[in-house]
Structure 1
Amino acid sequence: MTSIKEQAAISRLLSFLQEWDKAGKVKRSHILDSFIEINQGKTAPELEQEFSQGASLFLVRLTTWLRIIYMTGSCLEKLLRSINIFLSAVSSNRYLIEFLEVGGVLTLLEILGLENVKEEDKKESVKLLQVIANSGRKFKELICESYGVRSIAEFLAKSKSEETQEEVQVLLDSLVHGNPKYQNQVYKGLIALLPCASPKAQQLSLQTLRTAQSVVGTIHPSIVDCVLKVLGTMHLEVQYEAIELIKDLLGYDVRWPLLQGLVALLTPPAKETSKLQRKILTDASVLQLTGHLPVFLQQAAAAKAIGVLARRDLAVAEEMLHLHVVHRLMTAMGNMDHSNSQRLASLALQFFVQTFPLVEEHVHQAMGEELYQLFASNAENLYLKMDSIQADILASNKVNIPKALRLCGVSGSNLNLILGPDDPDHLGCVADFERQDDESQE
């Protein structure tokens, strides 16, 4: 026999449920407002007490209505927030299972791809997915098995709200941890995001990739090209994250191709630079970007990255000498069409000149006395004082490759470890090393 108090509580619950069942959209919206205000932050036992041990009866009504109206977007934000109160409550595993059993994950993922749904609604959907992912490994696997990584990554790339994109980053970070079965899938999804058009998505993807890389351990071969291409961005915050990721990647087995790629960016292909056409800006308030600009942005960013990496680790600086970095930095310094390339290449070259005496000797010889004095006195602003003839001198001179390699104690027998057999300078270097080795023996 139930007590009078229990009967009264059950009666109130039935009355509330009947009110919900009969209510229209406006009335239901008011009910949700009241529910959110009263129950925010309550535990599962407290919710059961509020609903006379029948909280699941209201949750099933919420999930049913969600499946009916989610494509229209009506009251969607309030509805998702109400469901979140149930799923995020302490000891809410029962509610979570009930929500998943009716296809809750698929519904939330589908909301992310709907064009007519507001950004705020999608953000609430992401928050619910965070709650589910944080509930344990099997729930992370369920999201991934539902093609969740693709849906979430595509939404991150298309979202126009930085606040929402940051919530997506939290979700992806959760999915990469404690999810050994699908962590590689998340890792690849993050790499696939790097070429997207959204600078904020690129920035967040690069940040999360640093964490994901340490979790996954192994390197995906496409990451080198993707990260190097990101250096063509106009956004300094993206460039910063790319360089930070490059620092981490040097600790893996892509160190050499990564350094090769960075040094190669200092000298853009001739077919790209030949497209250069000087244009007069008709409107000073509008920046008109020409097709070659990303190439020069990459060049400047590569010079910056080379300077950062060389100062950080002398061993890296020595490895870059093997890759003709001094000659290529001088070539970048001669780029009269992009002053930032000149400035950053000058600063990077200044480090090599100050650190390696033989490099200083060669650069001095290659530049000539007047240009070298300009460089030595103010490398950062050299481009302001340099004329076109001096720029051509920089772009046309080459470093003595064998001499620079010998600086690092490299013998001819070890050259194959540095330059591959297909390197255009390989045969010349080998011949020069053999000659110098013979002379030293004599």
Structure 2
Amino acid sequence: MTLSTALVNNYSDALNMSSSREKAASSRVLNFLCEWDRGNKSTRARMLEKFLQENTGKTSPELELEFAQAASLFLARITAWTRLTYMFSTCLHLQLGALGVFLSAASNRRYLLEFLEVGGVMTLLEIISQKQISEEEKAEALRLLCIVSNAGRKYKEIICESYGLISVLSRSSPTTTQLTLHTLHTVQAAVKTAHPAIVEPLLHLLRSFQLEVQYEAIELIKYLQQTEVRDALLNALIALLKPTNQGVPKHKILQDPAMAKMSSSLPLFVQQAAAAKALRMLAVESRETSKELIRLGVVHHLLYAMGNQEHADAQRQASLTLQHFVHSYPVVKEHVFRAMGPALFHSFMHNAELLYMNMDEVQADILLNNKVDLSREFEEQDPKS
């Protein structure tokens, strides 16, 4: 036998062996998918557990090799089963974990597209919005949404256009809300546009007693100044400085009317304080925004909030915010001096943060009934460019 003949025979044998291995792999995957299709919940849960043990951390090419170039068929099955059963499934954590293997795999573009095509994003958003689903599972769904959004601008746009994250804001626990706000911030940063419906639920979160939630809400408010909802946010934040009881549930505490009133007002006062804080941060970051707030009447509203002796933090935050405007604009300083009177103004300039501790009822009443309106005068002194 010549050398060339031997090489040809070896090559032919190699092809046959390769073909045999491919057939065996294809047969194994086919049997695996058939077992899935015929299996009940416990069977599928066992298969997902094994899948996670053997494939977590694999790249897309490695997954394709494992599934004989048919990994997408298994991804489609997991997604479909999740969509059908997430409301009452006892193995949602396994389903989300398996989806995460595909979505987080390196070179995963194909899996992302297929996941989107079968409604995967909407399924994740629906999972987040369900009360009966555990916080751990909601957190995992949010993590998967982050993976999708980090894949590129068009994926962020798909999540934004779905409107689902916005709807979750008002129906979630503090932990989920915080994660949702962070995800929204990440998405908005790339899309640079915002749905007008985000304003109301976002501002409602300023009532939260969780500082982490308030922080994420204010950070998102700061970013949204670059979008078309900027004006709506500024006007709404100023309006929150003069709260009303509309829409706040009243709680019965020992049937005490005074306690019930305090309970119903407290979320509004927390929101009032957070709004004052947010306005200060916006004004400090942008002189243009600072001037716009003055034109919108923020000084009058801050003075009003400073007179709220039912909530010390609202007084403190409003006082600190007003301090910024007084130090930045002489015309504001002049109007505030006239509104407060010499004694209170002196105390304000000496220590704005602790002013509320030395304020009597007469002074608080003066602030609550202030008539400051310097929009026209400010416009004349500092016209818009």
- Normalised by the length of structure 2, the TM-score is 0.79
Aligned partners of 2:252 and 2:158: how far apart in 1? 45
Q: 1:329 to 1:129 in 2, by over 3 A?
A: farther
Pairwise mapping of residues 96-135 of structure 1 onto structure 2 (< 5 A)? 98-101=70-73, 103-107=76-80, 109-110=82-83, 113-118=86-91, 120-131=93-104, 135=108
- C-alpha displacement of 1:69: 3.2
Paired residue for 2:3? none
- Corresponding residue for residue 7 of structure 2: none
Do 1:66 and 1:79's aligned partners in 2 also have CA atoms closer than 8 Å?
no
Task: Give the structure 2 partner of residue 351 of structure 1.
Answer: 324
Normalising by structure 1, report the TM-score.
0.70
Equivalent residue for 2:144, pick from 164, 168, 171: 171
Per the TM alignment, residue 349 of structure 1 is displaced from its structure 2 partner at its CA by 0.7
> For the residues of structure 1 that align with 2:68 and 2:324, how far apart are their CA atoms?
58
Which structure's relative contact order is higher, taking Cα pairs within 8 Å and 6+ residues apart? 2
- Report SS of the residue matched to 1:290: helix
Counterpart check, 1:292 vs 2:265: yes
Task: Indicate the residue corresponding to 1:93 in structure 2.
Answer: 64
Q: Deviations over 1:323-359 (max 9, x none)?
A: 1101101111111222211111111111111111111
Partners of 1:209 and 1:315 in 2: how far apart? 25
Residues 303, 344 of structure 1: 8 Å contact kept: yes
Which sections of structure 1, spanning at least 5 residues, go unmatched?
Answer: 11-44, 283-287, 415-442
- 1:327-342 map, 5 Å: 327-342=300-315
In the other structure, the counterpart of 2:291 is: 318
Residue 397 of structure 1: SS of its match in structure 2? coil
**How far is the alpha carbon of 1:241 from its aligned partner?**
1.3
CA shift for structure 1 position 132: 6.8
Aligned-partner Cα distance in 1 for 2:169–2:210? 13
Alignment of 1:40-79 (within 5 A): 54-67=24-37, 68-70=39-41, 75=46, 78-79=49-50
Which of 58-67 and 379-388 deviates more? 58-67
Give the letter aligned to residue 88 of structure 2: E
**Using a 3 Å threshold, how does the CA distance of structure 1 residues 180 and 356 change in structure 2: closer, same or farther?**
closer
Describe how 1:110-259 pairs up with structure 2 within 5 A.
Answer: 110=83, 113-118=86-91, 120-131=93-104, 135-136=108-109, 138-158=110-130, 159-162=133-136, 164-178=137-151, 183-187=156-160, 188-259=163-234
Residue-by-residue CA offset, 1:8-60 (whole Å, 9 max, x unaligned): xx9xxxxxxxxxxxxxxxxxxxxxxxxxxxxxxxxxx9xx99x9984555444
Give the partner amino acid of 1:160.
Answer: S
Closer, same or farther: CA 363–140 of 1 in aligned 2, 3 Å: same
The Cα of 1:115 is off from its aligned counterpart by 3.0
Residues 357-394 of structure 1 show CA distances to partners (whole Å, capped at 9, x for unaligned) of: 11111111111122222222221122222222221111
Q: Check conservation: 1:307, 1:348, Cα contact below 8 A.
A: yes
| Distance of aligned partners of 1:76 and 1:198 in 2 relative to their CA distance in 1, 3 Å threshold | farther
Amino acid at match of 2:90: V
**Cα distance in 2 for residues equivalent to 1:325 and 1:109:** 49
CA RMSD of aligned residues (A): 3.8
Distance of aligned partners of 1:217 and 1:376 in 2 relative to their CA distance in 1, 3 Å threshold:
closer
Matches of 2:56 and 2:119 in 1, distance apart? 25
Give 1:277 shift: 9.3
In terms of fraction of residues, the more helix-rich structure is: 2
Change (3 A) 1:61 1:270: same
Q: 1:270 to 1:89 in 2, by over 3 A?
A: closer
Provide closer, same or farther for how the CA distance between residues 108 and 119 of structure 1 changes in structure 2, counting only shifts above 3 A: closer
Partner SS for 2:308: coil
**Cα contact 1:156–1:168 (8 A) shared by 2:** yes
Deviates more, 1:345-354 or 1:194-203: 194-203
In structure 2, the residue corresponding to 1:398 is in which secondary structure? Answer: coil
* Structure 2 gap segments, 5+ residues each: 1-9
- Structure 2 contact 82–92 (Cα < 8 Å) conserved: no
Alignment of 1:377-396 (within 5 A): 377-396=350-369
Identical-residue share of aligned pairs (%): 32
